[in-house]
Amino acid sequence: MINKNKKVALTGGFAVGEAMTQINPDVMAVYPITPQTPIVEYLARKVANGKADTEMIQVESEHSAMSACIGASASGARTMTASASQGIMYMMEVLPVASAMRLPIVMAVANRAISGPLNIHCDHSDAMAMRDTGWIQIFSENAQEAYDNTFIALKLAEKVLLPATVNLDGFILSHSVENLELLADGLIYKFIGEYQPEQHLLDFEKPKTFGAIALPDSYFEFRKQIYDAMEKARAEFNEITKEFGELSGRKYEQIEACETENAETVIVAMGSTCGTIASVVDKMRAEGKKVGLLKIRLFRPFPYGEVQKALKRIKRVVVMDRNMTFGSQQVLASEVQKALGAELESVIYGLGGRDIYERQIEEIFEGKKDSPYFLM
């Protein structure tokens, strides 16, 4: 067992693959789809080279991948997978089954635009499509966070018995090389521990049914249990990230505020774009402009209280959504507005992988509305 941290350069996809290797799940059901494929390729190589003994199940579709995960997890196996975009859409039928059966499956999602038209590049439409399926959703700004979030998601999922996703922006993070610190295997083992499910199908001394039919006299109660577990995940997230911080030296919270204390304008966003926004905040602060950033890390369950506390005194709030909702308010903007109970400005940007540059971020801070790079 390796007991020394090391600094390496990895793509975000390989960083998540390395985290999965260190977790060494019992089962990994896999089906390739751009841009998540490098994640499972990395783990598959480690398994082939004897660095992990995970059972890799190669299936014929993403629907089958999630179905295999459900069967494995219900049988008591620590189970993981990865997907993106149309893969998420194809497994959509069984995503809520995983949460309804209270299975702590962890899935890495290399966020990618959904069709149509066909596009393989980054936006958050796949994550938004699954936001109400009962899955915990954690967003990553960089490769280090994607690596760390994999451990946090696993421990949180197993604590509250809900499946969880680790979101990392497709290509922007999944295929870009960054410096990061890998934790020692001994620290990871200490953090996640052995998986010992209390309920599983192979406990023949206490036979049970998973996935039974629920008619009107019981369906409501099952859904309420998912709701309560998601509410519990908020508090558990804080405890788990506190423990992770003590092991790693990296502090993670449900939100992350940058220069918001005396800000007049604050942008709220998720994912890799937060790094670009933070750079613009530093530049504009040096020019004497009172701007700030609020990064959402935990998207489901949504951190309403933390957002309200961070933004309640801000004069102007602008929310950047990397997806487009049709016929309704944008998703992240509507969540932030609910937290604030006040009007805000909504921006749609980066659909289909369109780049967002620092000059466009400055235009958003300045309220310019004629850019082809975003909609306000």
User: What are 76-116's pLDDT values in tens digits?
Assistant: 999 999 999 999 999 999 999 999 999 999 999 999 999 99
Residue 370: what pLDDT?
76
Q: In terms of DSSP H, where are the helices of the chain? A: 12-23, 37-48, 62-74, 85-90, 95-100, 125-129, 143-160, 185-192, 219-248, 273-286, 304-311, 331-340, 358-366
Q: Could you tell me if residue 204 is left (phi over 0), alpha (psi between -120 and 50 degrees) or otherwise beta?
A: alpha
Question: For residue 339, what are the CA distances in angstroms to 125, 312, 335?
Answer: 22, 9, 6
Residue 99: what pLDDT?
98
**Collapsed DSSP state (helix, strand, coil) of residue 154:** helix
| CA gap 213, 96 in Å, rounded | 14
| CA gap 252, 254 in Å, rounded | 7
Q: Among 173, 36, 12, which Cα is nearest to 91's?
A: 36
**Collapsed DSSP state (helix, strand, coil) of residue 181:** strand
Q: Taking a C-beta distance cutoff of 8 angstroms, is the pair 321, 345 a contact? A: no
**Collapsed DSSP state (helix, strand, coil) of residue 38:** helix
Please count the residues of the chain.
376
Residue 240: what pLDDT?
98
Tokens of 57: 């199940």
| CA gap 40, 45 in Å, rounded | 9
Cβ-Cβ contacts under 8 Å for 131 (sequence gap 6 or more): 137, 299, 300, 331
Residue 2: what pLDDT?
54
Q: Could you tell me if residue 102 is left (phi over 0), alpha (psi between -120 and 50 degrees) or otherwise beta?
A: left
| CA gap 222, 213 in Å, rounded | 11
Residue 45: what pLDDT?
98
Q: How do residues 118-138 score in pLDDT, each as one tens digit?
A: 999 999 999 999 999 999 999
Delineate the domains of the chain, giving CATH numbers in brackets: 6-248 (3.40.50.970), 255-375 (3.40.50.920)
Q: Among 330, 246, 358, 294, which Cα is nearest to 139's?
A: 294
Residue 375: what pLDDT?
84
**Collapsed DSSP state (helix, strand, coil) of residue 136:** strand
| CA gap 308, 299 in Å, rounded | 14
Residue 280: what pLDDT?
98
Question: For residue 283, what are the CA distances in angstroms to 276, 278, 311, 366?
Answer: 11, 9, 21, 14
| CA gap 105, 341 in Å, rounded | 34
Stretches where the chain sits below pLDDT 70 are 1-3
State the Rg of the chain over Cα.
20
